[in-house]
Each structure stands twice: as C-alpha cells, then as structure tokens.
Structure 1
Amino acid sequence: MTAELLAFVSAFALVFAVELPDKTMVATLVLTTRYQGLPVFTGVSVAFMVHVTVAALFGGALRLLPGALVTGVVALLFGIGAYLLLREGFAPVRDGAEDASRQGAGPVSFTRAALTSFGVLFAAELGDASQLATVGLAARWGEPLAVGLGSFAALAAVAGVAVLVGHKVRARIDPRLLHRVSGIAFAVFAVAAAVRTFA
C-alpha cells in the first residue's frame, strides 16, 4: 500500500469514527429535520471542504519544522483530541435532536438552507477533533492532499448518513461508546508521537 493510500485510509477511518457520534452528525440531522436534504448536504460539505483544506495545509506546513517539534505538536494535538472525545464519551447523554425532529422541513430556498447549514457546521467544526486529527495526520504522514481527501470523504460520508438515515442511526449507535473508543485511539496516537519526540 502506497504512503498516499495509507494516509487517505488512516484519515478516513479516524475522522469517520470520530465524527459519526459527534456534533457533526447531530447538527446535520437537526438541519435535515428543518430543511430539505440536498441543500443541507451541500452547505455542510462546503464547510467541511474549507476546514479540511486549512487543516491539511497547516499539517503539511508543520513538516517544514524540526522533527522533534513536529512530533511534539502532533502529540499535543492528539492529546487535546483524546481529552475532548473522552470528555464527551463520559458525559451524560444529551437529547437535542428529538425536539427539532418534530418540526417538518419548512418552505425555505435552497440557497438559504445551504448557507444556514454552512454557517452552523463551519462554526461547529472550528477546533473540532476531526480538524485536529487532520492536522496531526497531515504532519505525521507528510501527505496533506491524501489526508485532506480522506478527512473530507469521511465528513461527507457522516453527513450523508445523517441526511439519509437520520434519527434511526442515532438511536441504534451509542455515541458515548464511539467517543470512548475514538478517544482511546487519539490517546494512543498522542503517546506514540510523544515517545518519538523524546526518543
């Protein structure tokens, strides 16, 4: 398997696991209960594209710094991600989608629904675990394009699941368990990067 393909698969798998139970899924689900699916998917996809591009470029730029500094930054990013995910994984279950799901899709233009969806997800994803993962993986693999594409594909897939399946998926998957598993994965990556920093 080439480095580019491995970077793509790693980014896709990690970001998909992180975002499936996260606010990205919930926010997209809630937006879909209020607007038509296509403009929601379009808006959130553009928001993801902007975030992933910035994160992948930043991660690629980190490779220009000394190796120990890069692995230290990567360890810090994954450590922060692990903390955020584990905090969510052990938090009490919040119930925000049910009230919104009682409201039907309103008569809103495609453009307005897409722009609203873009704004909501753009704000929600700032500094999110998936963005930290994208930066960390781009710095680790030195393949920002492959990592960026993998992260974007994962985010788009999560949004697609939310739009197509909606609350049924959320009812069948325990989001806290996925947060815990993802948080442990982030912690392992943080420890591995920290070991490389001080080795």
Structure 2
Amino acid sequence: MSTVVQGFTKSLAMTVLSEIGDKTFFAAAILAMRHPRRLVLSGCLGALIVMTILSVLVGLAAPNLLSRKWSHHITTLLFFGFGLWSLWDAFKEDGDDDEFAEVEAKLDADLKANGEATKKSSKDDDDLKKQKRSFLLQFFSPIFLKAFSITFFGEWGDKSQLATIGLAADENPLGVVLGGILGQALCTTAAVLGGKSLASQISEKIVALSGGILFIVFGIQSFLSTVEA
C-alpha cells in the first residue's frame, strides 16, 4: 500500500492543477465580489471538503466492489484519459475571460430569476414565509448555502472528482483526503481573495497543459507499479 505522503503529494498536485481556472474557481471569485468573503469562502470550501471526502469514500469502496487488479487497471486508464482530456482542453482553450464571462452570465441569470420570483410575492406573505422558512436557513446564511450548493453541484461529476475517486482507489486514502482538502483550501482562498486578477495573470492553457502532463505521469507510474493481491 502506498504511503500517506505519496497519496498526499499526488492529491495536492492534482487538485491544485485541476481547480485553478475551473468553473467553480470563477464562481467563487464572482460570489466573493458580491457577498461577504467569509461566507463565500466557508460555503465553497465546505462543499469542496464534503465532495473530497465523499469521492475518497467511493474510491476506498471500489476495491471491495471490484478486484484490486481491476480497480488498479481502471484507475490507470482514468489517469491516461484525464491526461489526454486536459491536453485537449489546453490546445482548444479560448481564454480565461470567456469562461469567467460565461460563469458570470449564468450567475446573473440565476440572480435575475430569483429577483423576479421575489417581486411576484406580496408583502402579506412575509410572516408566512418566515414561519415556513427552511430548516437549513434557520442555522446557515442564505449566502453560505448559495455558495455551498453552486460549488457542490458544479463539482459533481467533474473531472477532478472522478480523478479523486480513482486516486483514492490506488493510493493511501488518508493522504488523498489531506492533500485534496489542502489543495481545495489553497485554490478557493485564492479565488475568493482575488480570483479575477489571479486568473488574468495565470495562463489557463499552461495550467491545463501541466495538469495533462501530471495525469499522464500518474498513469505511467500506475501502469508500471505492481498490483497488490
């Protein structure tokens, strides 16, 4: 079994290169421009931590559902597949500003839809709404919940989530969790504190290219490593 340090290092590098310039990275940056940063940071980071732990649990269960040999081979194929995917993204990348604008337009559309829905409700319903307010809203800020839900569902089925599952199936799960959480914390904090300016200084093509090379290196290492019975 691989060491905690090896799982931690792989997970940290993979997470940072997968999340910088990702749509959830831009979403966190945009939300932080409009709402209190601490609420956005806690909501986004909370969602990413939950997603990382869930992904690792799925990866940990994989060898129990499949043989160790098959889960290892699938993980190897995933690494190569994600590496080629990232390289393809690097060469067809249209630029950070376009993706930032795309995410911003989507959030604006959601905000407008929510605003129109709010206008349709009359003032007489305010007391009734407060009484029927959702259980979660009694304990969490709406901004926290918004940041959490946008990030969680934005990451669901994303390349980084699937890669984390594959990594956890082949590496030390504790190391993968710790590395993933640290990587998510670094990227999310950077996005909240200055995502737009940071994105303009970092080439999305270089990040995608680096991520693709990293995944292929992981794939080669996995292919050459022995499978435990």
Task: Tell me which interval the TM-score lies in, with the shorter structure as reference length.
Answer: 0.7 to 0.9
Aligned to 1:127: 157
Secondary structure in structure 1 of the residue aligned to 2:98 = coil
Aligned to 2:168: 138
Higher relative contact order (CA 8 A, sep 6+): 2
Aligned to 1:33: 33
> Whole-Å Cα distance in 2 between the matches of residues 83 and 33 of structure 1?
34
Q: Does 1:44 align with 2:73?
A: no
Distance of aligned partners of 1:8 and 1:75 in 2 relative to their CA distance in 1, 3 Å threshold: same
Please give the TM-score of this superposition, normalised by the length of structure 1: 0.83
Aligned to 2:147: 117
Q: For each residue in 1:134-188, what CA deviation from the matched residue of structure 2 results, as whole angstroms up to 9, or x when unmatched?
A: 11221111x2122112111111210000111222211110011110110122123
Aligned to 1:21: 21
Identity of aligned residues (%): 29
Distance of aligned partners of 1:74 and 1:43 in 2 relative to their CA distance in 1, 3 Å threshold: same
Gaps of 5+ in 2: 112-136
User: In the comparison of the two structures, how many residue pairs are matched?
Assistant: 191
**Deviation, structure 1 residue 98:** 5.6
> Whole-Å Cα distance in 1 between the matches of residues 88 and 3 of structure 2?
32
- From 201, 204, 215, the equivalent of 1:186 is 215
Aligned to 1:57: 57
Larger radius of gyration: 2
For 1:81, the aligned partner's letter is F
Please give the TM-score of this superposition, normalised by the length of structure 2: 0.73
Gaps of 5+ in 1: none
Runs of 4+ more than 6 Å apart: none
Query: 2:29 touches 2:193 (CA, 8 Å); kept in 1?
Result: no
> Whole-Å Cα distance in 2 between the matches of residues 177 and 122 of structure 1?
26
Query: 1:68 touches 1:197 (CA, 8 Å); kept in 2?
Result: no
Aligned to 1:69: 70
For 1:54, the aligned partner's letter is L
For 1:14, the aligned partner's letter is M
**Deviation, structure 1 residue 117:** 0.9
Q: Does 1:162 align with 2:165?
A: no
**Deviation, structure 1 residue 196:** 5.3
**Deviation, structure 1 residue 9:** 2.2
Aligned to 1:92: 94
Q: CA RMSD in A?
A: 2.7
Secondary structure in structure 2 of the residue aligned to 1:21 = coil
Distance of aligned partners of 1:177 and 1:188 in 2 relative to their CA distance in 1, 3 Å threshold: same
